[in-house]
Amino acid sequence: MSHDTGLGIAAIVVLPLLVAIAVLASRYASLRHDKGIVTAALRAVLQLAAVGLVVGFALQSTLGALAFIAVMLVVATITSTRRIRSTAAVPGQFAFCALAIGGGAGVVLLLLLLPGVVPRNPETLLPMGGIIIGGAMNATTLAGRRLLSEYGGRFGEYEAGLSIGLMAPDAFKLVAGPTAGDALLPALDQTRTVGLVTLPGAFVGMVLGGASPTAAAALQLVVLIGLVAAEALAILMTTELLARASLPDGRTVSV
């Protein structure tokens, strides 16, 4: 069986068609992401082309892989900061996002690499770092936006909490805190349905590369549980940091 993954001429027609379908769906559903879909697709093409050149150098040494992971962390932090800021501008937001993403991903990566759960080499470090940081970024973004939106929508309850003597962090977590859990749902659903609904990339890639299904399943399990842990930590840190931040007047928050 051929393992050629070249997309060929068909991709020149099909990929723009898929983008057009996404744009039309966004427009008719009033999702307000028409332009974002097009720019995301174009950026993906350019970034993957560039990354394909850089990754070869990053994989030549552990320091190279770590440097590339540091770039990933910076980009993830900028992305989350921008997304959360569209809901509300919070002083120190970049630092909060960096701590949440870096803290959640860092703990998990250390626990996987230091005891040797996964091989300590650039070939494993780089993709594992990208997967875990990406998951922590998504969780931080979703949690931050959900927390601030709930805070804005229930600002009267937040003020009522302050009026009865609650400290600001406690009032924030009482009103908005429970909604942050929604950010963990994608990772939980992916883990619950693995093998039944989805066959994740690590599993498929290893099997296509010649590894046994058992070894592939073991690595995929590590990735999935690591993602849940990293995202849960990122959500926890996002909640605690926002609860202690200098929050804007909730009446000015976009909901």
**Could you tell me the residue ranges of all domains in the chain?**
1-58, 62-252
| Residue 241 pLDDT class (50, 70, 90 cuts) | very high
Q: What pLDDT does 75 receive?
A: 95
Tens of pLDDT, residue by residue over 126-174, are: 888 999 999 999 999 999 999 999 999 999 999 999 999 999 999 999 9
Tens of pLDDT, residue by residue over 197-230, are: 766 666 656 655 666 667 777 778 888 999 999 9
DSSP, residue by residue, 74-105: HHHHHHHHHHHHTT---TTHHHHHHHHHHHHH
88 with 176: CB under 8 angstroms?
Answer: no
Q: What pLDDT does 201 receive?
A: 65
Tens of pLDDT, residue by residue over 22-77, are: 999 999 998 888 899 999 999 888 888 777 777 777 888 888 889 999 999 999 99
Q: What pLDDT does 1 receive?
A: 44
What is d(CA 31, CA 89) in angstroms, rounded to the nearest whole number? 22
Residues 80-108 have a mean pLDDT of: 95
90 with 176: CB under 8 angstroms?
Answer: no
Nearest to 177 by CA among 186, 187, 166, 188: 166
Q: What pLDDT does 221 receive?
A: 85
Q: What pLDDT does 159 receive?
A: 93
Q: Is the pLDDT of residue 5 over 60?
A: no
What is d(CA 19, CA 34) in angstroms, rounded to the nearest whole number? 10
Entry pTM? 0.84
Q: Give how far Cα 236 sits from Cα of 140, 222, 243, Å.
A: 9, 21, 11
Token code pair at residue 47 = 């970034």
